[in-house]
Structures are given as structure tokens and as C-alpha cells.
């Protein structure tokens, strides 16, 4: 059995490879797809096979996959370009006859009605249309994306966004999501499955602020903005207008409860509770 991980030198991909190795998958049975040898040098030093390929260069994927491979397609990072980039991988996987194509999509799958989800919905449909044996890993929001500016939040005394007061979101950490991906690649029983992956506990931004206050001893509150004011703030701090609209729309989706679900798929897959928000805050402050 050969396991191929695309995007292997990104933050999520590296964790997936390390989880596979830690679980006892032989390094020689893992192929890390990277855009350059330099980016994957540390993985090669561990005995992992390295394939050089780029989502934007279809021919580079011609010899990456072989029949029977289990493939993890980690979604591309650049919004607006994901569908053609993902199509390159899907077409190559189909041509090779891989045994599994796992894809890191978005929580809610076809029911996710926010702008950021559109490319993920389209990618899932392309995979279904391909006829490939699939596993959909529908990741909720990453905790790391919300604790990256804790110093600034504490300094301002407020976490400011467009999320309505009392709205809940069930985040999990990158480590949690990576562990789930590693499990579905190295164990049986996951073909034609769609997993809704989220944290065990859905929390509010008031609770986020209270936890941050408790850990720092500094008063922090949650300030909720209208969509228009939230969009204007995002643009003011340097987010390109088009992507600012996408982010503001995510806050609206959180306000509708689109990311509040806690079905338990993630903790069941990884065999442990998901990482609590308090732990993520503590780690970021550390």
C-alpha cells in the first residue's frame, strides 16, 4: 500500500505525514508531493519518497500516482483557483486508477451555503463524477486561525468581528484534522464516506474573550459588527476587497449556525477528544 500526500510541505500536510510515520507506516510507503526538493528535504531525510509536482502544471502529475495508491488531496490555498488546480489531481488520480482519493473540504459539504464553500462543493462533485473511491474530510474552522493575533486582541481589549452575539462555532486544531486524515489513509472502512469534522464543543466569542481574559488577567470582550462595518474593517487592515467579502461572509455563516455542528466524527476517528479552545489559547500565548 502506497500513500500519497499532496501539499505535503504545508502546515497540514507535514502533520499528516508525521502522523502516518508515528503510526508505523513505513516511510518508503509514503510519497510526499511538493513543488521543490528543497521544501521536502526534511521529509526525504526521514526516508519518505518525494514527488515534485505543481497544481498549476498538469503534466507534472503524470507519473505521481500508481494503481492502488491511497491519495490525500489537500485543498489548494488560493481561493478562486482551487477548482482547476484540484481538477489536475483528480484527472491524474483517475488515469492512474488509485484506490482512494481523500479530499479536505469544508464542514457541511453540499449544504455549506457560504462563499468560501463554493469551490469545495464543486470539487466534491468533480470527485463524485470521476467515479473514484472517495473519502470526504469536511473540516470545520481551524482554531489556529482565530488565535493568531492574541497579543493584538489583548492590547485592544476586544475580539472584533461580524459574528452575532451568542453564535457558536466548533473549531478544532490543525493537529486534530491531520490525525483524522492519517487515520482514513492508513485504515480500512472509509471509502465512500463523508465525515463532518469539528470540535467536540461549540463555543461563542464571548466565551473566547472570557477565556482569554482568564488566561492573561486582562479584560477582553467580544465586539460584533454589522456586515458592512466588518467588511470595511477587513479592507482597512489590508485584506483585499474580494477576499474581505469572503471572510465577512464566513462571519455571517457563523451567525447562522453553519459552523456550530458537533456530530462527533472527528473525535471518533482520532480516538480521543478534540483539542479544547482553552488549550489552543494557552499554546498561542506560550
DSSP-derived secondary structure letter, 40? T
Q: How confident is the model at residue 114 (pLDDT cuts 50, 70, 90)?
A: very high
**Predicted pLDDT of residue 77:** 84
Q: Over 80: is that where the pLDDT of 49 sits?
A: yes
Which SS3 state, helix, strand or coil, does residue 214 take? helix
pLDDT tens digits, residue range 170-194? 999 999 999 999 999 999 999 999 9
Nearest in space to 101 (alpha carbons), one of 67, 51, 56: 67
Predicted confidence at residue 278, as pLDDT, reads 98
Judged against a pLDDT cut of 90, whether residue 213 lies above it is answered with: yes
pLDDT at residue 174 in the model: 98
* pLDDT of amino acid 80: 81
Residue ranges in the chain assigned as alpha helix (H)? 11-22, 41-45, 82-96, 118-130, 150-156, 174-186, 205-216, 227-236, 241-255, 265-270, 277-285
| pTM, two decimal places | 0.96
Distance CA 71, CA 91 (A): 13
C-alpha distance from residue 140 to each of 1, 49, 225 (Å) = 29, 30, 22
* Rounded Cα gap, residues 254 and 167, in angstroms: 7
Read off the pLDDT band of 79 (50, 70, 90): confident
Whether 1 has a pLDDT exceeding 80, the answer reads no
Phi, psi (degrees; rounded to nearest 5) at 136? -100, 120
- How far, in Å, are 43, 71, 101, 138 from residue 68 at the CA level? 23, 9, 10, 23
The reported pLDDT for the residue numbered 101 is 98
What is the Cα–Cα distance from 268 to 265, expressed in whole angstroms? 5
Query: For a pLDDT cut of 70, what percent of the chain falls above it?
Result: 100
Task: State the chain's mean pLDDT as an integer.
Answer: 96
pLDDT digits (tens, 9 = 90+) for 22-33: 999 999 999 999
What is the set of domains in the chain, with CATH numbers? Answer: 3-140+172-199+261-274 (3.40.50.720)
Mean pLDDT confidence for 99-123? 97
C-alpha separations of 226 from 232, 240, 279 in Å: 10, 19, 30
* Mean pLDDT along residues 81-85: 94
First-to-last C-alpha distance (Å) of the chain: 40
Query: 282 φ, ψ to 5°?
Result: -60, -45
Q: What percent of the chain has pLDDT over 90?
A: 97
Amino acid at each position: 500500500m502506497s500513500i500519497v500526500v499532496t501539499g505535503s510541505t504545508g502546515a497540514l500536510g507535514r502533520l499528516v505525514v508525521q502522523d502516518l510515520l508515528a503510526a508505523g507506516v513505513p516511510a518508503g510507503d509514503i510519497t510526499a508531493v511538493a513543488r521543490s526538493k528543497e521544501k521536502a528535504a526534511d521529509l526525504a531525510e526521514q526516508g519518505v519518497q518525494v514527488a515534485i509536482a505543481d497544481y498549476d502544471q498538469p503534466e507534472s502529475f503524470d507519473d505521481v500516482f500508481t494503481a492502488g495508491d491511497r491519495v490525500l488531496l489537500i485543498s489548494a490555498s488560493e481561493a478562486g483557483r482551487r477548482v482547476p488546480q484540484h481538477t489536475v489531481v483528480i484527472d491524474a488520480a483517475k488515469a492512474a486508477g488509485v484506490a482512494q482519493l481523500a479530499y479536505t473540504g469544508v464542514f457541511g459539504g453540499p449544504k455549506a451555503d457560504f462563499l468560501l464553500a463554493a469551490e469545495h462543493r464543486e470539487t466534491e462533485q468533480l470527485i463524485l463524477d470521476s467515479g473514484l473511491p472517495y473519502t470526504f474530510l469536511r473540516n470545520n474552522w481551524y482554531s489556529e486561525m482565530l488565535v493568531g493575533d492574541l497579543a493584538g486582541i489583548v492590547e485592544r481589549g476586544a475580539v472584533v468581528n461580524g459574528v452575532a452575539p451568542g453564535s457558536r462555532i466548533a473549531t478544532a486544531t490543525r493537529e486534530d484534522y491531520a490525525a483524522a486524515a492519517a487515520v482514513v489513509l492508513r485504515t480500512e472502512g472509509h471509502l465512500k464516506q463523508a465525515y463532518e469534522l469539528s470540535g467536540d464543543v461549540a463555543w461563542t466569542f464571548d466565551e473566547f474573550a472570557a477565556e482569554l481574559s482568564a488566561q492573561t488577567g486582562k479584560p477582553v470582550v467580544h465586539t460584533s459588527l454589522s456586515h458592512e462595518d466588518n467588511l470595511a474593517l477587513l479592507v482597512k487592515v489590508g485584506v483585499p476587497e474580494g477576499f474581505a467579502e469572503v471572510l465577512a461572509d464566513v462571519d455571517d455563516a457563523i451567525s447562522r449556525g453553519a459552523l456550530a455542528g458537533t456530530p462527533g466524527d472527528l473525535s471518533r476517528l482520532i480516538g480521543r477528544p478534540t483539542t479544547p479552545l482553552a488549550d489552543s489559547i494557552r499554546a498561542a500565548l506560550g
